[in-house]
């Protein structure tokens, strides 16, 4: 009788622990859209990052619109252990970012020309894009091509731009 009473008394405590752990895991996840900036010595750099946990683990992409060439560029070595966050930007020579996740803010430094530059990211809602994406595939014999159409939401006609990676095997992310 006492054993059963002890088990029943511990049940709410165990349930509370399980819910608290699940809640903490959900709050500490960095999945989502983040906007940030960094104060360079003579400039300010704005950027956005999208983190997503997939089958291969934590992944991310960075956009630095003012750079003119870093758009949806994949991140490397993305990790979030406890409050510590690390990722690298291979597009510009594996620039390492190290920061601390404080819920809806990640702050830290990245290495630029051997100087530690502070950055801050804030979790936010991504802005709506003025287009929708449509995946397309073409095949002619053994040759297969695939791509993504970015179609404006407004009534056309619209001009078209085709990006390709030249005459060698590569993926669509090679130039991102």
Predicted local distance difference test score (pLDDT) of residue 114: 86
pLDDT digits (tens, 9 = 90+) for 28-77: 589 999 999 998 878 899 999 999 999 889 999 999 988 888 888 999 99
Predicted local distance difference test score (pLDDT) of residue 101: 97
Determine whether 102 is exposed, middle or buried from the number of CB atoms within 10 Å of its CB (0-12, 13-18, 19+): exposed
How many CB atoms neighbour CB 8 within 10 A? Answer: 9
Predicted local distance difference test score (pLDDT) of residue 66: 87
pLDDT over 70, % of the chain: 77
Average pLDDT over residues 105-131: 93
Determine whether 68 is exposed, middle or buried from the number of CB atoms within 10 Å of its CB (0-12, 13-18, 19+): exposed
In this predicted structure, the answer to whether residue 100 has a pLDDT above a threshold of 50 is: yes
Q: Are 160 and 69 in contact (CB under 8 A)?
A: no
Predicted local distance difference test score (pLDDT) of residue 24: 39
The CA distance from 49 to 74, in Å, is 10
In this predicted structure, the answer to whether residue 176 has a pLDDT above a threshold of 90 is: no
Confidence category of residue 25, pLDDT binned at 50, 70, 90 = very low
Q: What is the pTM of this model?
A: 0.67
Average pLDDT over residues 11-26: 40
The CA distance from 11 to 6, in Å, is 9
Q: Are 58 and 80 in contact (CB under 8 A)?
A: yes
Q: What is the mean pLDDT of the chain?
A: 82
In this predicted structure, the answer to whether residue 131 has a pLDDT above a threshold of 80 is: yes
Q: 41-47: long-range contacts at Cβ-Cβ below 8 A with a sequence spacing of 24 or more?
A: 41/115
Predicted local distance difference test score (pLDDT) of residue 130: 87
């Amino acid at each position: 009788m006492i054993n059963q009473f002890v088990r029943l008394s511990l049940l709410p405590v165990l349930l509370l622990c399980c819910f608290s752990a699940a809640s903490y895991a959900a709050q500490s996840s960095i999945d989502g859209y983040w906007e940030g900036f960094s104060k360079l010595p003579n400039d300010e750099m704005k950027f956005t990052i999208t983190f997503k946990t997939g089958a291969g683990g934590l992944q991310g992409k960075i956009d630095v619109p003012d750079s003119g060439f870093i758009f949806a560029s994949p991140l490397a070595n993305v990790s979030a252990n406890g409050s510590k966050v690390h990722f690298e930007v291979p597009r510009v020579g594996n620039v390492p970012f190290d920061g601390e996740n404080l819920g809806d803010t990640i702050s830290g430094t990245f290495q630029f020309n051997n100087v530690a530059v502070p950055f801050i990211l804030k979790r936010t809602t991504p802005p709506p894009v003025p287009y929708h994406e449509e995946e397309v595939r073409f095949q002619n014999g053994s040759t297969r091509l695939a791509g993504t159409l970015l179609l404006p939401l407004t009534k056309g006609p619209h001009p078209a731009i085709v990006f390709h990676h030249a005459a060698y095997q590569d993926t669509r992310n090679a130039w991102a």
